[in-house]
Amino acid sequence: MKISLEEMAQKISVANSFIITVHVNPDGDALGSALGLKFILEGMGKEAKVVIDDKWDKNFSILSGIESVINLQENPEEKFKADYVILLDASIDRCGKVIENCPDMKVLNIDHHVSNDDKADFLYLDADAPATAEIIYRLAKVLKVEFNTEIAVNLYTGMATDTGFFRYSNTKPYTMIAAAEMMEAGAKPNKISEALEVKSYETIKGLAAAMQTIEISENGKVAGVYLPYEIVKDLDTTEGFIDQVRIIEGVDVAVLMKEKEPNLCRVSMRSKETNVSAIAQSLGGGGHIRAAGATIELPLDEAKKKLLEVINEALV
């Protein structure tokens, strides 16, 4: 059921303990929103634990409080008890088994994905917000919480990563005002971007191998890297690979396809014009108009053929 941000703040302010969770394969916005909210709640004298059903990239060690995050996969039977589960940056179907392991708890959901399925008990959705972290910033204002360095580092990171460091079309004047306020509260943009961008030598070698598979199609409007399992199994990350593809002149839709297991391909898309959220949804996935993803249960060649057919139909 959809509620307003003020109603969400009201529910939070009268409760005492929370489990905070996010989507699997957590990105900077998911982790930054979760940890930012944890420090906001703790500052109000409440208890909050972040539990995620996945591991996270070591680049996120810059985030305050990251060492306190519980990876459910390390103890999958662990059960949690609190007044509410707060699910951020995703719908219920994308957070693995965390909600199952929080028996009899109501779910408060805060999200900016237009594809949110509205299955949580209470949902505040703002599909125009560039990042969930910007919504958490607004929530903190409603709750009249003062920002400290811990909150600032996390919320800044969330806003920065989902806006491509304030370059994507989702960036609004308000986003930069919020980010400026996070800087005043102690976030250091240079330190945060250095920590997030650093890559190992092996990763750059992996990027070089991945770029060998680059292909242009649909009259130059689509460019993709299509990585077979033999390449994927040796990669420690593909973070940032799609950015190398989306900058090619004339390209509208950029694609990163990974054969995660034989016969199972994970696809990410970025676009300048075409609605890739609709493409992802027609493949059983979701996301935003300019950034979306899906999983296709087919071998790489067939998954690629199917994806390009759907993209071709959707190109503007």
In terms of Cβ atoms closer than 10 Å to its own Cβ (0-12, 13-18, 19+), residue 154 is buried
Smallest separation, CB 32 to Mn ion (Å) = 9
Smallest separation, CB 30 to Mn ion (Å) = 6
* Closer residue to Mn ion (CB): 101 or 157: 157
Smallest separation, CB 88 to Mn ion (Å) = 8
The maximal CA–CA distance of the chain, rounded, in angstroms, is 58
As a whole number of angstroms, the distance between CA 59 and CA 6 comes to 34
> Which helix (H) or strand (E) covers residue 3, if one does?
none
* Closer residue to Mn ion (CB): 29 or 259: 29
Three-class SS state of 245 = helix
Residue 83: CB partners within 8 Å, gap ≥ 6?
A: 15, 16, 17, 18, 105
* Closer residue to Mn ion (CB): 263 or 275: 275
Strands 47-52 and 17-22: parallel
Sheet hosting strand 222-227, strand order edge to edge: 215-217, 222-227, 253-261, 264-271, 291-296, 286-287
* Closer residue to Mn ion (CB): 89 or 150: 89
Smallest separation, CB 70 to Mn ion (Å) = 21
Smallest separation, CB 129 to Mn ion (Å) = 9
Beta bridge partners of 134: none
* Closer residue to Mn ion (CB): 101 or 116: 116
Residue 160: CB partners within 8 Å, gap ≥ 6?
A: 28, 166, 179, 189, 192, 193, 196
* Nearest one of 220, 225, 218 to 240, comparing CA atoms: 225
Catalog residues that contact Mn ion under the rule CB under 5 A. 29, 89, 132, 162
* Closer residue to Mn ion (CB): 101 or 115: 115
* Closer residue to Mn ion (CB): 27 or 259: 27
* Closer residue to Mn ion (CB): 66 or 264: 66
As a whole number of angstroms, the distance between CA 293 and CA 298 comes to 15
Smallest separation, CB 222 to Mn ion (Å) = 24
Structure-block tokens of residue 219: 């009259």
* Closer residue to Mn ion (CB): 88 or 303: 88
Evaluate whether 30 touches 131 at the Cβ level (below 8 Å): no
Smallest separation, CB 170 to Mn ion (Å) = 10
Smallest separation, CB 150 to Mn ion (Å) = 20
As a whole number of angstroms, the distance between CA 176 and CA 156 comes to 10
Closest residue to Mn ion, judged by C-beta, is 29
Three-class SS state of 119 = coil
Smallest separation, CB 194 to Mn ion (Å) = 22
Three-class SS state of 26 = coil
